[in-house]
């Protein structure tokens, strides 16, 4: 794994453990020699993870839409800042540049990025691991919803396993490095074919 994409909030949230986890992820990437791909902002958890990664010597690539570059205050310390025309271009380039993905706590944008990249894995568009760092139980309701979607017959057990959930940054990275997502689409059952 050469580069890991981190999806996270443009705010730090209400719990100081979110900020601490973002810093831990950035430091860990530098320690392991893994580069960071992130949304390009200098504020919130985006800024925290980028600052920590830079401080630990990781290569960092920011990807930010032109319209948000000023609004999200594009990170000035990131030498490799890619300014793109749209949110769609941002997500596509982040996916192209990355060998895996993790979501830290965040809002609607973070959730949307997580589910889009997991859906791309389900559809066979990429074969890169996807993980969630469940800081202080932040993602417990989401994990319960995913498990309910399996029980209700909307998500296969195989596709549920596409999203790895861990509470420790080190354990999450270890699992992502070992994971090999399936080769093809799993959304059609044999009786539907």
Tell me, what's the pLDDT at 180? 72
The residues facing 143 across adjacent strands are none
Distance of CA 40 to the CA centre of its chain: 13
d(CA 145, CA 191): 25
Among all chains, which residue has been given the structure tokens 């909030």?
9
How many C-beta neighbours within 10 Å does residue 157 have?
10
Q: Provide, rounded to the nearest whole percent, the portion of the chain with pLDDT above 70.
A: 93
Predicted model pTM? 0.92
Domain ranges of the chain: 3-179
Segment (H or E) for 62: strand 60-65
Instruction: Write the pLDDT tens digit of every residue in 44-72.
Output: 999 999 999 999 999 999 999 998 887 76
Instruction: Write the pLDDT tens digit of every residue in 68-91.
Output: 887 768 999 999 999 999 999 999
Does 189 have pLDDT greater than 60?
Answer: no
The answer to whether the beta carbons of residues 186 and 122 sit under 8 Å apart is yes
Tell me, what's the pLDDT at 190? 46
The answer to whether the beta carbons of residues 102 and 22 sit under 8 Å apart is no
Span 3-179: which CATH code? 3.40.50.450
Give 121-127 contacts, CB < 8 A, sequence gap 24+: 121/162, 121/181, 122/159, 122/162, 122/185, 122/186, 122/187, 123/185, 123/187, 124/183, 124/184, 124/185, 126/95, 126/181, 127/180, 127/181, 127/182, 127/183
Does 188 have pLDDT greater than 50?
Answer: no
The chain-wide mean pLDDT, for the chain, equals 93
Instruction: Write the pLDDT tens digit of every residue in 4-35.
Output: 999 999 999 999 999 999 999 999 999 999 99
């Amino acid at each position: 794994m050469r580069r890991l994409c981190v999806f996270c909030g443009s705010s730090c949230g209400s719990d100081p453990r979110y900020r601490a986890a973002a810093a831990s992820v950035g430091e860990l990437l530098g320690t392991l020699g893994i580069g960071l791909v992130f949304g390009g902002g200098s504020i919130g958890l985006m800024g925290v993870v980028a600052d920590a990664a830079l401080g630990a010597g990781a290569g960092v690539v920011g990807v930010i839409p032109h319209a948000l570059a000023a609004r999200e205050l594009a990170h000035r310390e990131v030498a490799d800042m890619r300014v793109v025309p749209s949110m769609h271009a941002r997500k596509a380039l982040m996916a192209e540049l990355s060998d895996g993905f993790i979501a830290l706590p965040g809002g609607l944008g973070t959730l949307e990025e997580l589910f889009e990249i997991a859906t791309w894995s389900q559809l066979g568009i990429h074969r890169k691991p996807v993980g969630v760092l469940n800081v202080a139980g932040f993602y417990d309701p989401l994990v319960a919803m995913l498990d309910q979607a399996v029980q209700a017959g909307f998500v296969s057990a195989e596709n549920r396993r596409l999203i790895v959930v861990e509470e420790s940054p080190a354990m999450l990275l270890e699992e992502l490095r070992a994971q090999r997502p399936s080769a093809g689409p799993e959304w059609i059952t044999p009786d539907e074919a």
